[in-house]
Amino acid sequence: MRLWLGLALIILFLSGCSTQLGYRFADTFIEWKVDDYVDLSGQLETDFSQAVDEFHLWHAQQELPKYRQSLHEIRALVLSETITTADSERLRQQGWEYWDAIRYQSVPYAKEFLPRLSAEQVSQLSGNLQKEFNERMERRAERAAELAELDDAERLADQLDESVDDLREWLGPLRDEQRQMLRDYIANDPEGPSWMDYRQAWLTDFVQVLNSDSSHPDYAAQLEVMIKHPEYWQSEELQAHQADERLRAAEFLVAMHASLSVKQKQHMVRKIDEYIELLDDLIEHYAAQ
């Protein structure tokens, strides 16, 4: 469980490629991932490869400096005496704005390339998207079955160990009172509407759009809405639950920050500085391109 929501979102694009080499080959990685879903060839493959390079350069030149600025802001907050729930919400919102920028930037490419897919390629893409979703559901079901075999105390201990590992990476060893705060936070986590039901609803409609006539005026408009506003497929209950969870997480973050020792703050600052240094090097590398 990632509790440092703002930080986790801001470094979203870096978390999977935490070295300069990893980020510099992100365009190749994207092409490999797309190849897992649909086979491209000929001019379409060439044009798509060029588009990915363009997208990658946009992200490096336009978005990475924003990430760096946000990390400096987070660094200052970590070292401050107190933070507020408003600080937490601002960072969370900022992180989602960065994710929105990536999604919005992808819309013109989706409008350009998806209509160029053949019927066979559309079928392949649709099938692989659903297959991946089904596999994810199977993993969740297996995990739920494992947890169901545990009693309440064992289940809480299992979730606590996972969350402690997350926080230890950023803070170092936790004190007993901090582990208790974390235990209380997890124990009071209410079960909400299924997130996966929302994802399946979105995927079902996305596949329907893919299989529709791409020359129809509604095709591009529907595609844009699905990419820019997937939250439209969330139920009112899910949205309300998420709002409650954001407030609960923000309050926990404020309380946890108040409990941090000087040593723990320094540990977290060192981790943030590692990402700032990485961003400095990447920004300098891509500035001249």
Distance spanning both ends of the chain, measured CA to CA: 38
Give the amino acid at 89: E
Q: Is the pLDDT of residue 257 over 90?
A: yes
The secondary structure of the chain in percent helix, strand, coil, rounded to multiples of 5, reads 85, 0, 15
Residues 6+ apart with CB under 8 A from 287: 61
Q: Is the pLDDT of residue 8 over 50?
A: no
Residue 52: other Cβ atoms inside 10 A: 18
Q: 7 or 92, which is more confident?
A: 92
Measured between alpha carbons, how far is 206 from 226 in angstroms, rounded to an integer? 7
133-192 pLDDT, tens digit per residue, is 999 999 999 988 988 898 888 888 888 888 888 888 889 999 999 999 999 998 888 887
Considering the entire predicted model, what is its pTM? 0.87
Nearest to 51 by CA among 31, 23, 66: 31
DSSP 216: S
Q: Is the pLDDT of residue 1 over 50?
A: no
Asked if residue 178 lies in contact with residue 263, where contact means CB atoms within 8 angstroms, the answer is no
Average pLDDT score over residue span 23-48: 84
Predicted confidence at residue 21, as pLDDT, reads 57
Predicted confidence at residue 137, as pLDDT, reads 94
141-158 pLDDT, tens digit per residue, is 998 898 889 888 888 888
Nearest to 113 by CA among 229, 205, 31, 56: 31
Q: Where are the domains of the chain?
A: 5-287
Predicted confidence at residue 264, as pLDDT, reads 95
Q: pLDDT over 90 for what percent of the chain?
A: 53
87-128 pLDDT, tens digit per residue, is 888 888 888 888 899 889 999 999 999 999 999 999 999 999
